[in-house]
Amino acid sequence: MTTHALLFEAESIQAYITDSGRLTDAVGASARVDQLCGDLLDSGEKAPAQAQDLLSVVLEVAGVSVDGDMLSFSRRGGGAFIALFKQECARDRVQALWSAALTEVAPGLRFGLATASASNTLEAAEAGMKRLRALRNQPSAVLPEAGPLTRRSPRTGRAAVSRITKGGSEEWVDAQTAIHSGHVQRIQTHDALTCHFSQVLKDWPRNLETDFPFLDNVHREIAMVHADGNGLGVALQALSNHCKKDPNTYIEAYAGFSRAVTKATRAAAAIATSEVLEPATHKGINGYVPARPLVLGGDDLTILLRPDVAVPFTEAFLQAFEKETEKELGPLRKKFAFLPERLSAAAGIAIVSASHPFDRARRSRCKPSCWTRLPHQA
């Protein structure tokens, strides 16, 4: 039976989130990205009520059920998915609705969206991934285009679409920033993203000027931490080689591996939060957590931290990541013994002034004076 694949991948997520240089906009953008694709859930598991994602809404409107036999996923989460349909018309409905929804919900987000059909799930997925790679060299235009007579946003340089009030003054903003600024007002201090870090800590800062717990007015630095796993490419290649011999195991193998890595990353973030951020918050200044997560998906973590907790948190996360991947991969290795026993991770920390634009902090890894890379220490 022919399988019809739909593949989606958000591109340059960190750049998209930190685009305007403001924490409030970054919080709004990260919440949007976190709620795009949802998760690969275990059988019988239900997503939390606050974690309603855009893809689930699109599937419901399109009349496609994951619980039925029309659709399955080999990857879902971290701003990407690989959806495998039995009916081409169902896939095409979802593709059209997904494209329209992204334009409305996440303007300015660069992404790849590809389709493919083949005689089995593995061939359909691999053909779709080949098309996604080709699309990366053909970036689409960002609308609206700013002509010579167009008012531009002074912060981003893109075409201004509305005027909003920020810090008591009015400012012209582009469509992307306007969406994020409006969305952050509806985000609670404890949202779907922060829930993965802690169920105890409720007050996560959203604004550097009003609620971030700096140590004092002199030391107003912020640490940006980015961590990701090592060796995923080798593991995925091993999975691919196995599935080429036995295509019927493709969904079980890839979905199981993706689910295991996601669970391990979230568990590691929760452990690091419990060990480092909870004590720092309880001894803190104004009750707010000295951190704000921006990305937690797949094997990726991006978080803003007060510098005094940045290194302890990162070390705790790296150590927990290795232990948790060993725990989560254990059951999967009983059937796919070629998978690694565990994965390690590495992280970079950039410490900059709180007034420093976050997008520049993200790129400052090329400057050794402000960027430290921490490999996992066994």
pLDDT digits (tens, 9 = 90+) for 160-199: 888 877 666 788 887 777 777 665 555 556 678 899 999 9
Percentage of the residues of the chain whose pLDDT score is greater than 70:
85
Question: Do residues 247 and 3 touch, judged by C-beta distance below 8 A?
Answer: no
* CA-based nearest residue to 295, from 44, 14, 60: 14
Query: Look-up: residue for tokens 């709004």?
Result: 28
* CA-based nearest residue to 23, from 187, 136, 150: 187
Whether 253 has a pLDDT exceeding 90, the answer reads: yes
Whether 115 has a pLDDT exceeding 80, the answer reads: yes
More confident residue, 96 or 177: 96
Give the integer Cα–Cα distance in Å for 11 and 217.
Answer: 37
* CA-based nearest residue to 344, from 191, 232, 197: 232
Q: Is 94 exposed, middle or buried (0-12, 13-18, 19+ CB in 10 A)?
A: buried
Which element (helix H / strand E) includes 239? helix 232-245
Cα-Cα-Cα-Cα dihedral sign, residues 188, 273, 227, 48:
negative
Give the integer Cα–Cα distance in Å for 270 and 249.
Answer: 31
Percentage of the residues of the chain whose pLDDT score is greater than 90:
51
pLDDT of residue 333: 94
Confidence of residue 367 (pLDDT cuts 50, 70, 90): very low
pLDDT of residue 26: 83
Rounded to two decimals, what is the model's pTM?
0.85
Confidence of residue 108 (pLDDT cuts 50, 70, 90): confident
Compute the average pLDDT of residues 107-113: 88
pLDDT of residue 163: 83
Most confident of 173-177, 234-238, 323-327: 323-327
Whether 366 has a pLDDT exceeding 50, the answer reads: no
CATH number of 3-135: 3.30.70
Give the integer Cα–Cα distance in Å for 218 and 336.
Answer: 54
* CA-based nearest residue to 9, from 94, 75, 59, 73: 75
End-to-end CA distance of the chain: 47
Render pLDDT for 301-312 as a digit per residue (tens, 0 to 9). 999 999 999 999
CATH number of 221-375: 3.30.70
Whether 20 has a pLDDT exceeding 50, the answer reads: yes
Whether 356 has a pLDDT exceeding 80, the answer reads: no
pLDDT of residue 161: 81
Angle at 125 between CA 127 and CA 99, to 5 degrees: 90
DSSP state of 364: G
* CA-based nearest residue to 3, from 122, 85, 125, 115: 85
Whether 376 has a pLDDT exceeding 60, the answer reads: no
Q: What is the domain partition of the chain in residue ranges?
A: 3-135, 221-375
